[in-house]
């Protein structure tokens, strides 16, 4: 495959040039043009590295499209995969939350097992457009999280785990009223119900959180699986993560937590929807604030796959970043953090994972997505 007249975004610069693809890899990247008849003219559209997503809850929306409605697992994977590929994502870590807890998202053990099996089956038959890996999100303040982790930790596609604690009163839900409003998105709760739920969740945290965090981190060290912390809020949270050898701080909720992560050389990942919306839906620190303070390393689409590419161009327009620097948050940096050294940039020798993007005013519109040189959308 030979592409000409493309605005190529490399690690360091943007220029109009030619890219040659051979055997699924990038062979040449050159400025200027070519007269070769076989060259495909991209009419000045951007040629961007394929996006790499380390944390997405998008699968959950298709597994349970409405409260109480559980969808066919295989069918959910198919549409999730198509959606991320259409958003320009060529490598995706599917976040599977484990640890059974009521009123805390999808945490049922049967569904978790079915998801893991579905991912294996689709991977073995090469039926997915993007390349999928498994990210186990471990809700440490639950009774069965270690048991479920042990049942899934030998999955061949496991590449990342995170330790999280969504107990109201700290971290993401430091404001219990915000937690209540989030729980009430599908119907009002009585004061008695809320009081009972808060007491039960606090009891579970006291009984399980510390011990299960230690066990999960120790298991991941033995397995060689990198670990992320989640919703760090205090200096102490980040210091604990650093002592545990954690490499990634997912969605720090305060600036001081992000600053401390930088001091410990822990990469920070923030939600692209936070950038696009101009703030956190939970009332936590603005991702744009962190970007302007040079405290942002990686972006995650979290719950909106299309937000990843939009947020890249918002970083340019709203934070004053260069396009190569902004693109690195969704390509080179997540690749480096996850140990995927064969992708993440438009450079000779790397995998030919790339996206054709045109602009509609200020909105980037993906026109085609390629994985290892083959068009997948």
- Measured CA to CA, the distance from residue 55 to residue 135 in angstroms comes to 7
Task: Give the pLDDT confidence score for residue 205 in this predicted structure.
Answer: 75
Task: Give the pLDDT confidence score for residue 111 in this predicted structure.
Answer: 78
Residue 140 pLDDT > 60? yes
First to last CA, the chain: 16
More confident residue, 174 or 251: 251
Nearest to 337 by CA among 135, 59, 101, 84: 135
Distances (CA, A) of 35 to 3, 5, 8, 181: 11, 11, 18, 61
- 106 falls in which pLDDT band (50, 70, 90)? very low
Domain parsing of the chain, residue ranges: 50-344
Characterize 344-364 residue by residue with b for buried, 16 or more Cβ atoms within 10 angstroms of its Cβ, and e for exposed.
bbbeeebbbbbbbbeeeeeeb
DSSP 189: -
Nearest to 368 by CA among 40, 12, 27, 15: 40
Q: Which long-range contacts (CB under 8 A, 24 or more apart) does 181-187 make?
A: 182/282, 183/103, 186/67
Average pLDDT over residues 162-174: 73
Residue 296 pLDDT > 90? yes
Nearest to 282 by CA among 140, 163, 175: 175
Per CATH, the number for 50-344 is: 3.20.20.140
Task: Give the pLDDT confidence score for residue 47 in this predicted structure.
Answer: 98
pLDDT in tens, 342-356: 999 999 999 999 999
Average pLDDT over residues 241-259: 95
Residue 68 pLDDT > 90? no
Radius of gyration of the chain (CA): 21
Q: At what angle do helices 145-152 and 109-124 cross, to 10 degrees?
A: 20
More confident residue, 295 or 282: 295
Residue 108 pLDDT > 80? no
**Lowest mean per-residue pLDDT among 103-112, 265-274, 292-301:** 103-112
**SS3 for 123-188, per residue?**
HHCCCCCCEEEEEEEEECCCCCHHHHHHHHCCCCCEEEEEEECCCCCCHHHCCHHHHHHHHHHHCC
**pTM score over 0.95:** no
Task: Give the pLDDT confidence score for residue 105 in this predicted structure.
Answer: 46
Is the separation of the CB atoms in 216 and 137 below 8 Å?
Answer: no
pLDDT above 90 covers a percentage of the chain that reads 75
DSSP 105: S
Is the separation of the CB atoms in 43 and 34 below 8 Å?
Answer: no
Beta-carbon count within 10 A of 199 CB: 10
- Backbone φ and ψ for 253, nearest 5 degrees, come out as -90, -10
Is the separation of the CB atoms in 58 and 305 below 8 Å?
Answer: yes
- Measured CA to CA, the distance from residue 146 to residue 323 in angstroms comes to 42
* Tokens representing residue 265 in the block: 């050389």
User: What average pLDDT does the structure give for the chain?
Assistant: 91
- 170 falls in which pLDDT band (50, 70, 90)? low
More confident residue, 52 or 104: 52
pLDDT in tens, 175-213: 666 665 666 566 666 666 667 766 777 777 778 888 999
pLDDT in tens, 302-360: 999 999 999 999 999 999 999 999 999 999 999 999 999 999 999 999 999 999 999 99
Task: Give the pLDDT confidence score for residue 189 in this predicted structure.
Answer: 66
**Lowest mean per-residue pLDDT among 3-17, 132-146, 338-352:** 132-146
More confident residue, 65 or 10: 10
Burial of 241 per CB tally in 10 Å (0-12, 13-18, 19+): buried
């Amino acid at each position: 495959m030979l592409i000409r007249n493309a605005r190529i975004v490399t690690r360091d610069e943007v220029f109009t040039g030619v890219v040659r693809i051979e055997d699924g890899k990038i062979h040449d990247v050159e400025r200027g043009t070519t007269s070769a008849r076989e060259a495909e003219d991209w009419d000045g559209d951007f040629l961007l590295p394929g996006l790499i997503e380390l944390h997405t809850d998008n699968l959950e929306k298709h597994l349970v499209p409405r409260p109480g409605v559980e969808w066919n697992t295989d069918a959910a994977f198919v549409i999730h995969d198509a959606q991320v590929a259409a958003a320009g994502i060529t490598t995706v870590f599917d976040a599977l939350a484990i640890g059974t807890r009521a009123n805390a998202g999808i945490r049922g053990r049967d569904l978790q097992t079915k998801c893991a099996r579905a991912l294996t089956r689709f991977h073995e038959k090469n039926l997915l457009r993007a390349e999928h890996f498994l990210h186990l999100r471990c809700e440490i303040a639950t009774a069965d999280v270690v048991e479920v982790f042990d049942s899934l930790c030998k999955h061949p596609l496991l590449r990342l785990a995170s330790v999280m604690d969504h107990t109201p009163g700290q971290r993401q839900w430091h404001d219990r009223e915000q937690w209540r409003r989030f729980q009430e998105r599908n119907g009002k709760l009585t004061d008695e119900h809320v009081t009972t739920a808060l007491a039960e969740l606090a009891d579970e945290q006291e009984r399980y959180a510390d011990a299960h965090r230690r066990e999960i981190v120790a298991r991941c060290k033995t397995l060689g699986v990198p670990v992320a912390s989640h919703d760090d809020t205090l200096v102490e949270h980040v210091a604990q993560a650093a002592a545990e050898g954690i490499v990634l701080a997912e969605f720090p909720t305060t600036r001081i937590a992000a600053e401390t992560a930088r001091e410990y050389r822990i990469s920070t990942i923030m939600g692209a929807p936070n950038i696009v919306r101009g703030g956190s839906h939970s009332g936590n620190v603005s991702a744009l604030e962190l970007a302007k303070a040079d405290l942002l390393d990686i972006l995650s689409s979290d719950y909106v796959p299309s937000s990843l590419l939009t947020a890249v161009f918002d970083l340019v327009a709203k934070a004053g970043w260069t396009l190569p620097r902004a693109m690195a948050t969704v390509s080179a940096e997540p690749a480096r953090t996850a140990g995927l050294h064969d992708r993440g940039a438009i450079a000779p020798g790397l995998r030919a994972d790339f996206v054709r993007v045109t602009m509609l005013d200020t909105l980037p519109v993906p026109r085609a997505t390629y994985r290892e040189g083959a068009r997948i959308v």
